[in-house]
Amino acid sequence: MQAEIIIQHGQIKFARPLYLKPDAPMRYRVEIPDEALIETRDWFVDAPPAPETLHKVPPAKPGSLQERLNQLLGRLALTRPGSSIGDDEQMLQDALEERYFGR
């Protein structure tokens, strides 16, 4: 069958809920026309960070702002994976939906 989907802030939702059999495949392919796409908003697209660089205390020189931030964050002073502009937009959208639509 064909299903109608809605793309919002980079994510897909079915227009009507579909209920799949437990053994149905988890992944489906959607074809989007190339001319419908626009370039990414991110100035530089982050290369995926090497896992060994993540969740480490950000290196800081004595007296630097980074040292101050590390001090304020305590055990939460950790390097984290990047978030694209689109990811941030989506996160914000989710938050607004959560707040105003009681999702």
Partner 1 sequence: MAVNSYKHTQVQLVFDTNVLVDALAARGAYYADAVGVLELVRNGEVEGWYAPHTLSTVYYLLERALAKDAQNRRESVQAARVLLQELSSLLKPLPQVGDELATLDAEVSDDLEDQLIGFLAGQYLPNPIIITRDKWFLKSSDIPALHPKELLEQGLAAWSKKPEKMPFIDLAVQQRAIRPQLQRNIHAVLQHGTYIMGPEVELLEKKLAAYTGAKHCITVASGTEALLVSLMALGIGAGDEVITTPFTFVATAEVIVLLGAKPVFVDIEPDTCNIDARLIEAKITERTKAIMPVSLYGQPADMDEINAIAAKYNLPVIEDAAQSFGATYKGKKSCHLSTIGCTSFFPSKPLGCYGDGGAIFTDDDDIYQACREIRVHGQSRRYYHTRVGVGGRMDTLQCAIVLAKLERFDWEVEQRIALGQRYNQLMDEAGIQRVQQRDDRTSVFAQYTVLVEKRSEVEARFKEVGIPTSVHYPVPLNEQPAYQHLCCADCTPIAKDRAQRVMSLPMGANLTNQQQTQIAQTL
Residue ranges binding partner 1 (CB under 8 A): 41-44, 46-47, 49, 55, 58, 64-66, 68-69, 72-83, 85, 88, 91-92, 95
Please report how close the Cβ of residue 29 comes to partner 1 at its closest, in angstroms: 28
* Nearest to partner 1 of 11, 64 (CB atom): 64
* Nearest to partner 1 of 7, 42 (CB atom): 42
Secondary structure letter of residue 101 according to DSSP: S
Residues near 70 by beta carbon (within 8 Å), at least 6 away in sequence: 57, 58, 60, 77
Please report how close the Cβ of residue 33 comes to partner 1 at its closest, in angstroms: 21
| Cα first-last separation, the chain | 29
Please report how close the Cβ of residue 27 comes to partner 1 at its closest, in angstroms: 25
Half-sphere exposure of 67 (CA within 13 A, CB side): 5
Please report how close the Cβ of residue 82 comes to partner 1 at its closest, in angstroms: 3
* Nearest to partner 1 of 9, 13 (CB atom): 9
Give the C-alpha distances (Å, rounded to integers) separating 21 from 18, 28, 30, 46, 76. 10, 14, 20, 38, 42
